[in-house]
Amino acid sequence: MKAAFVKPPIGGILGLEMLTFVEPLGLECVAAALEEDGHECLIVDLRIDSHERGIAKLDAFEPRMIGVQCNFTTERNRTIKLTRQLRQRYPDSFIVVGGHDASRDPQWFTDPSIDAITVGDGEEVVPALADAVDRHGDLTKAPGLYVNTSDGLVPTGPAPARRNIDELPLPARHLIKDYASEYYINFRKPLALMETARGCPFKCNFCSVWKFHESTFREKSPERVVEELGQIEAPNVFITDDIFWMNVKRGRELAKQIKASGIKKYFTVQTRTDIICRFPDLIEEWKECGDLAIFLGVEKVDDAGLASINKSNKAVNNVRAIEILKELGVGFTCNFIVDPGWDYEDFARLKEWIARMGTYNSGFTVLTPLPGTDLWDEVSADVAAQNWEMFDIIHTVLPTKLPLEEFYKEFSDLWKWILHVRYQERGKAQTYLGMAAALATGKVSLGALRKGMNIAKVFSEPQTFLDAHQARGR
């Protein structure tokens, strides 16, 4: 059977792809599972292809089944618009929606254009669905689905999660070969994604990853990771694990095997500050695997703030981890969560911390209750926004303590502040010299550099964020 998978087009209010634009790894993983069963697959990325070009590819392929990925809440309306267009053009094709957001809230995707919604790991759900569609079998016998019937959505029960994820096939990267040069993160392009583990044992209230994976944490072996890494042509690799180095013993063995393989990449990883504090030598080992950059979810600068989001960490670890990374010469980016309930003093406290720590590579998000999180369960009655595109974690969808205009003035001032601290720490001349060197060596592209430079300027203007609220008559 022919199965096509489609990534919806870029939309949103600000187009956050200006900073990070990554491959649809989930679609590649699901397609690989289908190809292993003998099905023929196609991936269409409508963020890169025009609508007309994407439809032309689908027309030529003649899919029996079409899967649409909805990973983020912001993609909801775009997903429904796309499935309706696909239903009109391919009335006899089976249309299924999957992805993280669809799994979080399948009932929301009740629409005549959609035949079923998948819930859980796609590799465990979609092959049985494809077999049922191909044989015109009973869909309710395929686990991990919400089937759209005349009586409404009918759940088919959970699909079993494979404990040994080494058994999963390698992602079908050949299906995105024509797109591969377009993916990037920050200033680095081309970029590939790689998953070495799934799940998270921590229970931050703003995150639904641990709920999706039912608090489990599953790892691929170092041998499997190195095998997959050898498949990747891109010089830059973003490891998608929510917390890298969770298993320190495995982290050491993985570094050892990557070094032995001779593979050198620019790795970007996400991890916790308390892991860095306990095992700084592990970071040193990973420096020998190529270039290394670390994304730190610092989130809050004091223990009360960390407790408010159930972070299960201490502020002293944030401070010490940053000191360790500076001592080791490892690049890092901090992210901070801004609470809609903040007053002027809270913004001032964060600015002071950034200046004191010299964390000029920082980003800021607004605390956002996403469907499927504990935070959503707690405050969804207070959500004011009706537009799903505003759930992009840089707009507030909750009432603010400050007047809205003042809240965004303070929020945009944070972005101005990091530019100030950056120039104060490094100096303008050194900053631009570093950028020029990166361009000269081919480590970054001019287009990616321009986009990265532009984001701080755009976010430094309060009106950037106010426009969305004013557009809906607020």
pLDDT per position as a tens digit, 81-104: 999 999 999 999 999 999 999 999
Q: How far apart are CA 8 and CA 85, in angstroms?
A: 11
Give the pLDDT confidence score for residue 435 in this predicted structure. 46
The residue behind tokens 């995105």 is 176
Q: How far apart are CA 118 and CA 147, in angstroms?
A: 9
- pTM, full prediction: 0.91
Is the domain of 335 the same as that of 457? yes
Over residues 249-272, mean pLDDT: 96
Is the domain of 410 the same as that of 335? yes
% of the chain surpassing 90 pLDDT: 76
Confidence of residue 437 (pLDDT cuts 50, 70, 90): very low
Residue 384 falls inside a structural domain: yes
Q: How far apart are CA 422 and CA 300, in angstroms?
A: 20
Over residues 377-403, mean pLDDT: 92
Over residues 135-159, mean pLDDT: 93
HEC sequence for 335-381: EEEECCCCCHHHHHHHHHHHHHHCCCCEEEEECCCCCCCHHHHHHHH
Is the domain of 129 the same as that of 74? yes
Is the domain of 225 the same as that of 186? yes
Residue 170 falls inside a structural domain: no
pLDDT per position as a tens digit, 203-248: 899 988 877 777 788 999 999 999 999 999 999 999 999 999 999 9
Over residues 116-125, mean pLDDT: 95
248's enclosing H/E stretch is helix 248-261
Q: What is the CATH number of the domain that holds 441?
A: 3.20.20.70
Q: How far apart are CA 336 and CA 313, in angstroms?
A: 14
Query: What range does the domain containing 303 cover?
Result: 181-471
Residue 172 falls inside a structural domain: no
C-alpha dist (Å) from residue 168 to 1, 33, 161, 197? 20, 7, 11, 12
Q: What is the CATH number of the domain that holds 70?
A: 3.40.50.280
Q: Which residues are bridge partners to 41 per DSSP?
A: 3
Candidate from 62-76, 109-123, 378-392 with smallest mean pLDDT: 378-392
Q: How high is the mean pLDDT of the chain?
A: 90
Evaluate if residue 399 carries a pLDDT over 50. Answer: yes
Q: Is pLDDT larger for residue 11 or for residue 390? A: 390
Is the domain of 148 the same as that of 267? no
C-alpha dist (Å) from residue 309 to 134, 201, 270, 300? 46, 15, 18, 9
Instruction: Please say whether the dihedral angle defined by the alpha carbons of residues 164, 167, 173 and 176, taken in this order, is positive or negative.
Output: negative
Residue 310 falls inside a structural domain: yes
The residue behind tokens 């392929």 is 61
Number of domains in the chain: 2
Candidate from 362-366, 432-436, 442-446 with smallest mean pLDDT: 432-436
Is the domain of 107 the same as that of 190? no
Is the domain of 128 the same as that of 211? no
116-118 and 145-149 beta bridge pairing: antiparallel
Buried b (16+ CB within 10 A) or exposed e, 5-15: bbbbbeebbbe
Q: How far apart are CA 414 and CA 342, in angstroms?
A: 13
Q: How far apart are CA 334 and CA 355, in angstroms?
A: 13
Radius of gyration of the chain (CA): 22
Residue 164 falls inside a structural domain: no
Confidence of residue 361 (pLDDT cuts 50, 70, 90): confident
The answer to whether the peptide bond before residue 190 is cis (omega within 30 degrees of 0) is yes
End-to-end CA distance of the chain: 50
Give the pLDDT confidence score for residue 417 in this predicted structure. 83
Beta strands in 367-439 (DSSP E): none
pLDDT per position as a tens digit, 30-79: 999 999 999 999 999 999 999 999 999 999 999 999 999 999 999 999 99
Buried b (16+ CB within 10 A) or exposed e, 412-435: bebbebbeebbeeeeeeeeeeeee
Of 91, 79, 151, 170, give the one whose Cα is nearest residue 117: 79
Instruction: Please say whether the dihedral angle defined by the alpha carbons of residues 391, 117, 5 and 99, taken in this order, is positive or negative.
Output: positive
Q: What's at 130, amino acid-wise?
A: A
Q: Which of 139, 155, 171 is the last residue of a domain?
A: 155
Residue 383 falls inside a structural domain: yes
Residue 278 falls inside a structural domain: yes
Over residues 365-393, mean pLDDT: 91
- Distance, CA of 56 to chain centre: 29
Is the domain of 257 the same as that of 392? yes
Residue 100 falls inside a structural domain: yes
Report long-range pairs for 461-468 (Cβ below 8 Å, ≥24 apart): 461/412, 462/405, 462/408, 462/409, 462/411, 462/412, 464/14, 464/412, 465/394, 465/395, 465/408, 465/411, 465/412, 466/404, 466/405, 466/408, 467/13, 468/13, 468/387, 468/389, 468/390, 468/395
Is the domain of 197 the same as that of 308? yes
Is the domain of 328 the same as that of 368? yes
Q: Which residues are bridge partners to 43 per DSSP?
A: 5
Is the domain of 50 the same as that of 104? yes
pLDDT per position as a tens digit, 288-303: 999 999 999 999 999 9
Give the pLDDT confidence score for residue 16 in this predicted structure. 57
Is the domain of 328 the same as that of 456? yes
Q: Is pLDDT larger for residue 92 or for residue 422? A: 92
Q: What interhelical angle do 280-287 and 315-328 show, nearest 10?
A: 30
Q: How far apart are CA 26 and CA 42, in angstroms?
A: 13
Give the pLDDT confidence score for residue 431 in this predicted structure. 47
